[in-house]
Amino acid sequence: MTEILVDVPKMEEYLNENSPQTQTVECPLEEHFAPDIYVRQVTMPAGTFVLGATHLTEHLNVVISGSARVVIDGEIVEIKAPCTFKSEAGVQKILHITEDCIWQTVHPNPENITDTKVLEDKLVDYTNSRIPLESVNKLLCPSSEQQ
């Protein structure tokens, strides 16, 4: 079976031009440091769709409050706080936030780097802007999951 990929920047451009209710939403980010640990905490409002970066390292996810439908490795997972789970390296998540959500990712930082640009270069890949159409359909059209 051939996988059909969606070019995310083109999809965003199309939605912004053709759907008046589509808008970019600000999701506040907080960053925290402790010895050997780097934590990113993002607050996302209900109704938001989020395409996460591809993570380059294994890390923990801690959902402090709220809930989301998440595509992980092509499967829909319902996540409701409180929840902690591990993500493997190479994973990219697509989220539909169903209740206002506070989500943390906890990363190893053995060099105790505090320059967030350097950390992002080590931890995430933002260049993957093509995602499987099937994954988008699973979030946008929940009834298609049963077919």
Q: What is the dihedral of CA 130, 77, 20, 26, to 10 degrees?
A: -80
CA distances from 84 to 71, 77, 100, 104 (A): 16, 13, 17, 9
Decide if pLDDT at 133 tops 80. Answer: no
CATH code at position 110: 2.60.120.10
67-112 tens-digit pLDDT = 999 988 778 899 999 999 999 999 888 888 999 999 999 999 999 9
| Model pLDDT, residue 23 | 62
Decide if pLDDT at 126 tops 90. Answer: no
Q: Give the structural domain span for 127.
A: 5-146
15-56 tens-digit pLDDT = 556 555 556 778 899 999 999 999 999 999 998 888 888 899
| Model pLDDT, residue 1 | 42
Q: Is 68 exposed, middle or buried (0-12, 13-18, 19+ CB in 10 A)?
A: buried
Cβ 29 vs Cβ 40: under 8 Å: yes
Q: Which of 95, 94, 105 is nearest to 130 (CA)?
A: 94
| Model pLDDT, residue 5 | 45
Q: Which of 140, 144, 135 is nearest to 76 (CA)?
A: 135
Q: How many domains does the chain have?
A: 1
| Model pLDDT, residue 9 | 55
